[in-house]
Amino acid sequence: MSIFKGSGVAIVTPMTDKGEVNYEQFAKLLEFQIAKGTDAIIVCGTTGESSTLTHEEHLEVIRYCAEVVAGRIPVVAGTGSNCTDTAIYLSKEAEKSGVDGLLLVSPYYNKATQNGLYAHFKAVADSVKLPVLLYNVPSRTSCNIAPETILRLCTDVENIVGVKEASGDISQIARLAAISGGKIDIYSGNDNQIVPVMSLGGIGVISVLANVAPAQTHEICQKYLDGDAKESCRLQLEAMELCDALFCEVNPIPVKKALSLMGIIDGALRMPLSEMEPANTERLEKAMRAYGIL
């Protein structure tokens, strides 16, 4: 059973201008997502600035998210780390919060071997009963999870059920789809590749775009799941300019700026992330207006 199908939002973590988590704005954002048809919340991932949250903050954000969502849609908690013991700790604690699944990024900086990745993910997944999604994002981690390793993990470890594939390598994703025979839940990790990944058997996206366009991102996925690939493709192409603008600086700088422009959150960031450059802000505003969300 898949954790979810369709559009899962890689949700931002709103901050105050003093750098504290802004729970009031976080609740507002969660309600906005649910009201607009988002299919799942993915909390404390890259877009949620998990790398600068303390362990206590990380777990409190997960607990708060699960409490506010209250079972209305699935919540998947990012609990990966480059330290296996830390990932186990975060995963066990997140499980107590009542989330529906976990997202485990490959260990960053360490640059583990494929055998090391297998041992790491197996140890973390074996420590919990929740379904687990792997997260392959080599541009962030300098470490690629090979299709064969993903298949091995999903075959050997009962609760590892799928992968967020953000390598951007369609050939690699096609190989994974081919060797897995539909037995692995594959989610696009890139908003500009939702339809290409779903055309290879993927079942949705874990999305940055959905922060600002939840209804539209849901519709891209739902049209494909409903068998209307042509309309899904049209909607994907319609969103491309905004997708590009949301990554014209490192994520989540642009998406937080976009949410600020929409009046949903203030858009504060934690260092070392910094305020968006004026020229890029102008580009983002233009794309948002063209897309009809501003």
Rounded to 5°, the CA angle 85-208-109 comes to 35
164 is catalytic: yes
Q: How far apart are CA 48 and CA 231, in angstroms?
A: 31
Q: How far apart are CA 267 and CA 195, in angstroms?
A: 29
Beta strands in the chain (DSSP E): 6-10, 40-43, 75-78, 101-105, 132-136, 160-165, 185-188, 204-207
Q: How far apart are CA 6 and CA 219, in angstroms?
A: 8
Residues 6+ apart with CB under 8 A from 265: 12, 14, 22, 25, 28, 29, 256, 259
- Residue type at position 29: L
> Among the options 164, 223, 256, 257, which is catalytic?
164
Residue 272 has a CB neighbour count (10 Å cut-off) of 8
> Among the options 23, 108, 111, 135, which is catalytic?
135
Rounded to 5°, the CA angle 275-19-107 comes to 85
Closest to 104 in 3D by CA, of 53, 55, 145: 145
Encode 36-54: b = buried (16+ Cβ within 10 Å), e = exposed: bbbbbbbbbbbbbbbbbbe
142: region left, alpha or beta (phi > 0 left; psi from -120 to 50 alpha): left
Residues with catalytic annotation?
135, 164
